[in-house]
């Protein structure tokens, strides 16, 4: 059933930490984390960094009336575009927001609705959460949960990040995409649970924010490297590797160099760029 369904992946925001607007970063792009997945009439969005603003414009332009937003974690670079996602302010739009692991994480954040409603309310945003126009359904699922959105099968996994983050695997028919950000790794080791999780995926989107030198200086910051991405890609026999969550200090020339190096070790690696579309 549904064998052969294609997944359209659009990279709306590929930076980590904060947006980057300088001209020599424009080719890779400056928006923070947001990637959409489209299959049939399903529109899934990973994270609500500033990239989601452009995704929202596209959604409205095409007259779509519903979407599902999957949140990895609520650090600012993953939610800072959310208030400006225009469908949020459209009364005939239906938005389902799903977060994995938030309820159980250190500090008891109180779940996705509680967390977002604090960020999207005065004094941080002029419109109170309960006056946001669109129909909203907020769902918290535990780490490691498996669930379905229509005919899409989704699994989650806890990642190694300060305060926690969740990875997602979306499967439809014989196709899959894995979204793995933000996460650190142990040098010289492979996370076998992660290798299993991403096994033979068609597209692995992976946090490659750091060079090896930057990782060595900041091993507890919760980010990884292109070198680790390549090691995982090989171990898990994945097809395409998208390097993602780029360091806002890495300009286009620097990223081109990273892509060349990564491709020497894994030919189907590429630097995810804002506006890039991949059909999986
Ligand atoms: Zn991040
Ligand atoms: Zn983070």
Task: Spell out which residues have Cβ within 5 A of ligand 2, the ion.
Answer: 75, 182
**Total structural domains in the chain?**
1
Q: Token pair for residue 111?
A: 């779940």
How high is the pLDDT of residue 2? 53
The CATH number linked to 109 is: 3.60.15.10
- For ligand 1, the distance from its centroid to the CA atom of residue 165, given in whole angstroms, is 9
Whether 1 is covered by a domain: the verdict is no
pLDDT at residue 183 greater than cutoff 90: yes
pLDDT digits (tens, 9 = 90+) for 215-257: 999 999 999 999 999 999 999 999 999 999 999 999 999 999 9
Please tell me the number of the ligand nearest to residue 49's CA.
1
28 within some domain: yes
* Domain that includes residue 265, residue range: 8-279
Interval between CA 147 and ligand 1 midpoint (Å): 24
Across 33-47, 100-114, 144-158, 179-193, least confident range: 100-114
Residue 227 located in a structural domain: yes
208 Cα to the center of ligand 1, angstroms: 11
Span 55-65, average pLDDT: 97
Task: Compute, in angstroms, the gap from residue 81 CA to the centroid of ligand 1.
Answer: 13
Q: What is the predicted pLDDT for the residue at 100?
A: 93
What is the structure's pLDDT at 102?
Answer: 87
Give residue-wise pLDDT tens across range 188-212: 999 999 999 999 999 999 999 999 9
The predicted-structure confidence for 88-136, as pLDDT tens digits, reads as follows: 999 999 999 999 988 877 556 689 999 999 999 999 999 999 999 999 9
CA of 46 to the centre of ligand 2 (A): 14
Question: Can you give the pLDDT at residue 108?
Answer: 63
- Cβ–Cβ under 8 Å, residues 208 and 241: no
The two structure tokens encoding residue 277: 């579309």
Q: What is the pLDDT of residue 1?
A: 46
SS3 assignment for the chain: CCCCCCCEEEEEECECCCCCCCHHHCCCCCCECEEEEEECCEEEEECCCCHHHHHHHHHHHCCCCEEEEEECCCCHHHHCCHHHCHHHHCCCCEEEEEEECCCCCCCCCCHHHHHHHHHCCCCCCCCCHHHCCCEEEEEEECCCCEEEECCEEEEEEEECCCCCEEEEEEEECCEEEEEECCCCCCCCCCCHHHHHHCCCCCEEEEECCECHHHHHHCCCCCCCEHHHHHHHHHHCCCCEEEEECECCCCCHHHHHHHHHHHHHHCCCEEECCCCCEEEC
Is 200 inside any structural domain? yes
With 80 as the cut, is the pLDDT of residue 48 above it?
Answer: yes
Q: Does residue 2 lie in a domain region?
A: no
Confidence of residue 276 (pLDDT cuts 50, 70, 90): very high
Spacing, Cα 8 to ligand 1 middle (Å): 23
Q: Are 253 and 271 in contact (CB under 8 A)?
A: no
Q: What is the pLDDT of residues 2-36, one digit of tens each?
A: 556 799 999 999 999 999 999 999 999 999 999 99
Tokens of 6: 């294609």
């Amino acid at each position: 059933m549904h064998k052969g369904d294609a997944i359209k992946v659009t990279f709306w925001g590929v930076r980590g930490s904060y947006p980057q607007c300088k001209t020599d970063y424009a080719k890779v792009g400056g928006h923070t984390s947001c990637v959409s997945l489209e299959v049939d009439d399903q529109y899934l969005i990973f994270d609500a960094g500033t990239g989601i603003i452009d995704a929202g414009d596209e959604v409205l332009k095409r007259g779509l009336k519903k979407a599902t937003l999957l949140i990895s974690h609520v650090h600012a670079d993953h939610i800072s575009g959310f208030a400006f996602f225009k469908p949020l302010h459209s009364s005939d739009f239906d938005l389902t927001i799903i977060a994995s692991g938030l309820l159980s994480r250190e500090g008891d954040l109180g779940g996705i609705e509680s967390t977002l409603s604090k960020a999207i309310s005065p004094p941080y945003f002029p419109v109170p959460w309960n006056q946001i126009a669109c129909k909203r359904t907020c769902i918290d699922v535990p780490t490691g949960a498996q669930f379905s959105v229509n005919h899409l099968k989704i699994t989650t996994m806890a990642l190694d990040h300060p305060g926690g983050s969740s990875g997602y695997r979306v499967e439809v028919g014989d196709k899959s995409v894995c979204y793995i950000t933000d996460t650190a790794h142990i040098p010289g080791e492979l996370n076998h649970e992660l290798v299993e999780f991403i096994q033979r995926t068609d597209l692995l989107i992976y946090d490659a924010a750091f060079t090896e030198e930057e990782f060595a200086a900041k091993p507890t910051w919760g980010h990884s490297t292109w070198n680790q991405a390549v090691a995982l890609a090989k171990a898990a026999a994945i097809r395409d590797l998208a390097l993602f969550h780029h360091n806002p200090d890495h300009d286009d020339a620097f990223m081109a160099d990273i892509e060349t190096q990564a491709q020497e070790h894994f030919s189907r690696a590429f630097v995810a760029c804002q506006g890039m579309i991949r059909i999986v």
